[in-house]
Every structure is written in structure tokens, then in C-alpha cells.
């Protein structure tokens, strides 16, 4: 079967082929062009989004004798050897299988010798977080005094497991998950060459099941092709066509979107179908916490659509990275609800997600919360009538036991099943105060975002959504930011005022020479900023609501957020 190894066959061999990591590519190629290559790089991010591919392409760009302007030729012996992982001067180590200190000592003993040919000897360590502590210590010794010809390219899916001492020695790059559209575009490009066609909804299904990983998407594609037998093509000119139903059958997934149905039943107050849906999910072995999290993601989409509609702004399916069918469904639902109600639903469901984790009856927790969301109108009326009756009970209190009046039937149910929330003393919640330039133990970017967050929370929230590349320059840093292409955040970040403010923060924090670059910022700057502004505000509102300090406050005080003012 010729189609079995699409992920392998279409592995990117040049920076041009690489999807969605513009900020990384831009910074790395500039480093080569300006002869400012560092000794250690750390690539972090989810699996299957191009970290190892970038490491190999970068190694080629550094070692290819024919490379022009940081573009390797991909045909010389060295390029081919690196592509096939057999170059003697590009050593690939899998941290998962070589987590012993011996493997790293081997590196230490060998780095002293120059490359067999060319200028650079390159070590690519994949899944570097799997190294043992003693292996890390051995690695650190080499990172502290690296010989001029040695370059380390470290890749990890779990950057938080890397010792800060190692992080501090590396230039760090965070890789983004890909958007569904980026995945679909790449698959379509591949299918065209392979003489295969898949319906648009089929492609959407593949993309939405791959969780932002191109490698996973291509494996799913392989699964579809091999399920129906790639060799059923009669001649090279035939086009194989797959429809939605075939994709669903091959992937063994459900075509009807359970999560969409969940909200449909809640908004239409169809409790019978709602409970049946939860029951079905539970009995089919779905992890209910994961299910509730997916429902919350769906609620976010509904919320953004609602916010755009209430402020009479345009919002497109593309901007939300969903299919047009999905967008229409959600738009129809938004006719039946309001922003305030959706906010409350978000509040209830967020709380439910944390309760599910430690409840002995997770299904019941979800059932009660779900039914409660269908009763928001009734709860409102109850609250209104009770407030007329002189009751001072706070709205939507989280801690039922503290109420002075007889709780409603629904709340009684919840009290039975939900253990009382432990109130954390505020001294434990507040982060330790630190100085203007606290480095947060070698995590400069994180510390910088925290720094901005304290002064301008919404600008900080925006930076939180960026992937970044940090590059040291004299008395400062070169910071390249990447956002989801065409996302609200990207538009927000290309606002001249925000660029000015972020740059000012950078200079204060990292030094006067600091420079801000936005990946692909040119095209975005052309887009009208006023258009879609309300929708951006909605996103920022959401970010503000999601901000840890806000959610902690809500958790502790059982408070409801009445208004979020956007001042960016």
C-alpha cells in the first residue's frame, strides 16, 4: 500500500515546507544570516508540530556546504545524511530511551573533538525532559562551557520538567499548535499531489481530531486511506474520493457532534435528552472531566458568537477555526440565549470540572450542573422574588451551606453531592511579591508576562496567548511573537498602540536595546483594526474571566463577574 507512510513521506525538509511556526523560522534563519548562532536551543511545544523537523532543517542549514541565505540544498551528501538521521556530525539522541547519565557522559567525552567535516557538530536531544537528574547535571557541565563548534538542539513536550539551570542556558522557542485551517490546507496540498480527494467536512473531522498536531492529522489520514485500501485506484490518473461518512467510518468516530448536542439540549431546556446524552457518554466510557472540558470549549465559541452578535460585529467561521456548518448551528443557538446566561453557564461548568475530579459520583455532579444550566431563568425568578421578600442572599452562591434561606430543590441536590469548597486563606493564594525584574528562576519570558500582567492585565493576557522566540542581544533581547494566524490575538497584537506598549515594557524589563518583532505582522497590520473590535474585546473579556486571579476570587468568594472593562 503506497499510502501508508504519508506522515513520513511528507516530513518537511526545508523551512518553507514547515507549517505555522513562522516566528521560529524567522529567528533561526536570521541567526544564521547574521552569524549569531547560539550554542543551545530549546524547542518546546505539543507533539507532532515540527520541533524535530526544525532541528534537522536547522542542522542542515548550518552544515550544508551549498546553503544559500540559510536555505540548505537538500541534495548534497550531508543534507541527505541528516534527513536520513545518519550524519556522523549530527547526533540524534532520544531522551526517552537514553535517560541514563552514561549517554550524556558520552556526549561530554565526544564534544571535545571537532566535527568530522564542516564547522559544526550538532546534538539533537529529543524528549530532553526524560533525562535523569544526574544526566541533566552532566549536560549542564557541557552547556556551561560549550566548545565553539558544538550546538545543542533540545526538544521537549514538557518544558516544566526541565531544570531551570538548563533552561537558563538555552535560547527558547515555543512552538504553536496548528489551527484546523492550517492542517486542512496542508492535507489538501498533499492530497492533490497524491491524487486523492476528501470532502471538506471529512477534512474538518480529521483536523478537529488531531488536536493541533500535523503529525497526528497525517496519521489519521493514513488510517482513512488504508481502511479503504489505497490501491483501489485503477490508474494514476484516477482520483480517489472519500466522503464524510467514509471518514467517520474509517476513524471510528461519531459524526454527530455530541458536544454541540449537549448545548442544544441545555439551551432548549430538553432535560430528558440532556440526561440521556450524559448517560450515553458515561456508559461508553468517556472520561467525564474531558467531556466537560470539551463542552466548555464549545461554550467559549457560543459565547464569542453571542458577544459579536450583541455588539453587531462580524465574526466568521474562519476566525473561530470551525466549519461553516458548525458556525451556523452555534449562531442558531445563540438566538435562544444571552451573554449573561452564557457567562453563568461558564461559571457553573468551570466549577463542575474541578468538582468532577474529586467527586465519587462524577456523573451525578455533571447531571446536576447540566440540569441547573437549563433552569437559569427559574433561578433568576426565584432570586428576584426572594430579594423582594427581603432576602439578602448573594446571587448564585457557590457555598450552599452558607445560605440563610431554604435552598431550592436543585441546590439541595448539589449540596448533597458536592463537598464544601475549602476556602484558601488569601495569603496562600497571592503570589510572593517580587521586584520589578524578578527573573522567576531562569524563565525570563514567563517572568516578563507576569511583570506586564501586574501593570496591564489585559496586555499580559494577550502576551499569554503568544508563542515566542527569545534571542539575546547586547543589553536586551530580540523577541519574536507568534499568534494563531488571523486570530483575534494576532489582530490585537498588531495594533500600533499595543506594539508601542509591549515594546516599552520590553525595554524596561530586558534592557534598552530590546526589539519586538511580530511574525507575519505586515499582512495583519493592513487588516482593519476597528472591524471586529468588539469581538476582540469579547476575547479579552474571556481572557480576563479566565485569569487565575479572577477565577480564584470567584472560587473563594463565590462571586459573579458583573462587568469586565476592556481598556486596551
At closest approach, how far in Å is the CB of 79 from Zn ion?
3
Cα 105 to Cα 98: distance, rounded to the nearest angstrom:
11
* Least Cβ distance, residue 265 to Zn ion (angstroms): 58
Relative orientation angle of helices 271-283 and 288-310, to the nearest 10 degrees? 140
* Minimum CB distance to Zn ion smaller for 11 or for 413: 11
Nearer to Zn ion, 64 or 418 (CB): 64
Shortest Cβ 167–Zn ion spacing (Å): 32
CB of 48 or CB of 72, closer to Zn ion: 72
Interface contacts to Zn ion, rule CB under 5 A: 64, 66, 72-73, 76, 79
Q: Which is nearer to Zn ion, 55 or 79 (CB)?
A: 79
Nearer to Zn ion, 64 or 373 (CB): 64
Strands 196-198 and 240-242 come out as parallel
Cell numbers that stand for 563 in this block: 462587568
Shortest reach from residue 17's CB to Zn ion, in Å: 15
C-alpha cell belonging to residue 480: 519574536
Q: Which is nearer to Zn ion, 76 or 421 (CB)?
A: 76
- Secondary structure class of 202 (helix, strand, coil): helix
Residue 482 contacts residue 447 (beta carbons within 8 Å): no
CA-CA-CA-CA torsion for 201, 206, 207, 213, nearest 10 degrees? -170
Phi, psi of 188 (to 5 degrees): -65, -40
* Least distance (Å) between residue 78 CB and Zn ion: 5
Among 178, 126, 122, residue whose Cα is nearest residue 152: 122
Are 442 and 164 in contact, with CB atoms under 8 Å apart?
yes
N- to C-terminal Cα distance for the chain?
A: 55
Question: DSSP letters of 227-238?
Answer: HS-GGG-SSTT-
Nearer to Zn ion, 42 or 62 (CB): 62
- Residue 436, classed as helix, strand or coil, is coil
Q: How far is the CB of 5 from Zn ion (least distance, A)?
A: 24
Compute the distance between CA of residue 64 and CA of residue 117 in angstroms, rounded to an integer.
11
CB 65, min distance to Zn ion, A: 7
For the CB of residue 59, give the shortest distance to Zn ion in the complex, in Å.
11
| Residue corresponding to grid cell 486570530 | 487
Q: Are 180 and 322 in contact (CB under 8 A)?
A: yes
How many of the other CB atoms lie within 10 Å of CB of 31? 21
Nearer to Zn ion, 67 or 93 (CB): 67
Nearer to Zn ion, 13 or 554 (CB): 13
**Closer residue to Zn ion (CB): 83 or 403:** 83
| Closer residue to Zn ion (CB): 79 or 207 | 79
Nearer to Zn ion among residue 66 and residue 500 (C-beta)? 66
Q: How many CA atoms lie within 13 A of 198 on its CB side?
A: 28
Look at phi and psi of residue 475 and say left if phi exceeds 0, alpha if psi is from -120 to 50, else beta.
left
Rounded CA separation 127/21 (Å): 19
User: How does DSSP assign 332-401, residue by residue?
Assistant: HHHTT--HHHHHHHHHHHHHHHHHHHH-S-HHHHHHHHHHHHHTHHHHHHHHHHHHHTT--PPTT-S-GG
CA distances from 276 to 366, 372, 374 (A): 12, 16, 15
The nearest distance, CB 25 to Zn ion, in angstroms, is 18
Shortest CB 118 distance to Zn ion, Å: 11
Q: Write the DSSP symbol of residue 2.
A: T
CA 372 distance to own-chain centroid: 30
Amino acid at each position: 500500500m503506497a499510502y501508508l507512510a504519508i506522515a513520513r513521506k511528507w516530513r518537511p525538509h526545508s523551512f518553507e515546507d514547515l507549517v505555522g511556526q513562522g516566528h521560529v523560522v524567522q529567528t533561526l534563519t536570521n541567526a544564521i544570516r547574521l552569524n549569531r548562532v547560539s550554542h543551545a536551543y530549546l524547542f518546546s511545544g505539543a507533539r507532532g508540530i515540527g520541533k524535530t523537523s526544525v532541528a534537522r532543517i536547522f542542522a542542515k542549514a548550518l552544515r550544508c556546504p551549498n546553503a544559500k541565505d540559510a536555505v540548505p540544498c537538500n541534495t548534497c551528501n550531508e543534507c541527505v545524511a541528516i534527513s536520513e538521521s545518519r550524519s556522523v556530525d549530527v547526533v540524534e539522541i532520544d531522551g526517552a530511551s537514553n535517560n541514563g547519565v552514561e549517554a550524556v557522559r558520552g556526549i561530554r567525552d565526544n564534544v571535545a573533538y571537532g566535527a568530522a567535516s564542516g564547522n559544526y557538530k550538532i546534538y539533537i536531544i529529543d524528549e530532553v525532559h526524560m533525562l535523569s537528574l544526574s544526566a541533566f547535571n552532566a549536560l549542564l557541565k557541557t552547556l556551561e562551557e560549550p566548545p565553539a563548534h558544538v550546538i545543542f538542539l533540545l526538544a521537549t513536550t514538557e518544558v516544566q520538567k526541565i531544570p531551570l539551570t538548563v533552561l537558563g542556558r538555552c535560547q527558547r522557542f515555543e512552538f504553536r499548535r496548528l489551527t484546523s485551517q492550517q492542517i486542512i490546507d496542508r492535507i489538501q496540498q498533499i492530497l492533490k499531489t497524491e491524487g486523492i480527494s476528501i470532502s471538506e467536512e471529512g477534512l474538518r473531522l480529521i483536523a478537529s481530531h488531531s488536536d493541533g498536531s500535523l503529525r497526528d492529522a497525517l496519521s489519521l489520514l493514513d488510517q482513512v486511506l488504508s481502511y479503504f485500501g489505497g490501491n483501489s485506484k485503477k490508474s494514476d490518473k484516477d482520483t480517489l474520493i472519500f466522503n464524510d461518512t467514509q471518514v467517520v467510518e474509517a476513524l471510528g468516530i461519531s459524526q454527530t457532534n455530541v458536544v454541540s448536542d449537549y448545548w442544544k439540549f441545555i439551551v432548549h431546556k430538553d432535560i430528558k435528552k440532556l440526561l440521556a446524552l450524559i448517560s450515553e457518554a458515561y456508559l461508553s466510557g468517556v472520561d467525564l472531566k474531558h467531556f466537560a472540558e470539551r463542552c466548555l470549549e464549545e461554550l467559549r465559541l457560543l459565547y464569542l458568537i453571542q458577544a459579536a452578535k450583541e455588539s453587531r460585529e462580524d465574526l466568521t467561521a474562519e476566525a473561530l477555526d470551525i466549519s461553516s456548518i458548525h458556525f451556523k448551528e452555534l449562531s442558531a443557538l445563540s438566538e435562544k440565549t444571552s451573554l449573561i446566561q452564557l457567562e453563568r453557564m461558564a461559571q457553573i461548568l468551570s466549577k463542575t470540572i474541578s468538582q468532577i475530579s474529586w467527586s465519587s459520583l462524577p456523573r451525578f455532579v455533571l447531571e446536576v450542573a447540566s440540569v441547573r444550566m437549563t433552569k437559569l431563568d427559574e433561578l433568576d425568578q426565584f432570586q428576584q422574588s426572594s430579594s423582594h421578600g427581603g432576602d439578602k442572599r448573594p446571587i448564585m452562591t457557590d457555598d450552599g451551606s452558607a445560605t440563610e434561606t431554604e435552598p431550592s430543590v436543585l441546590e439541595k441536590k448539589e449540596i448533597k453531592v458536592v463537598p464544601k469548597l475549602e476556602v484558601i486563606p488569601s495569603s496562600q493564594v497571592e503570589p510572593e511579591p517580587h521586584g520589578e525584574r524578578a527573573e522567576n528562576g531562569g524563565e525570563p519570558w514567563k517572568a516578563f508576562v507576569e511583570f506586564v500582567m501586574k501593570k496591564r492585565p489585559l496586555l499580559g493576557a494577550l502576551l499569554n496567548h503568544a508563542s515566542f522566540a527569545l534571542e539575546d542581544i547586547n543589553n536586551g533581547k530580540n523577541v519574536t511573537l507568534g499568534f494563531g494566524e488571523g486570530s483575534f490575538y494576532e489582530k490585537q497584537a498588531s495594533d500600533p498602540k499595543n506594539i508601542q506598549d509591549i515594546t516599552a515594557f520590553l525595554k524596561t524589563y530586558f534592557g534598552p536595546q530590546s526589539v519586538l518583532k511580530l511574525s507575519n505582522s505586515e499582512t495583519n497590520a493592513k487588516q482593519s483594526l476597528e472591524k471586529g473590535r468588539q469581538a476582540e474585546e469579547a476575547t479579552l473579556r474571556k481572557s480576563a474571566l479566565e485569569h487565575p486571579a479572577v477565577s480564584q476570587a470567584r472560587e473563594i468568594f463565590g462571586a459573579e463577574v458583573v462587568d469586565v472593562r476592556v481598556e486596551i
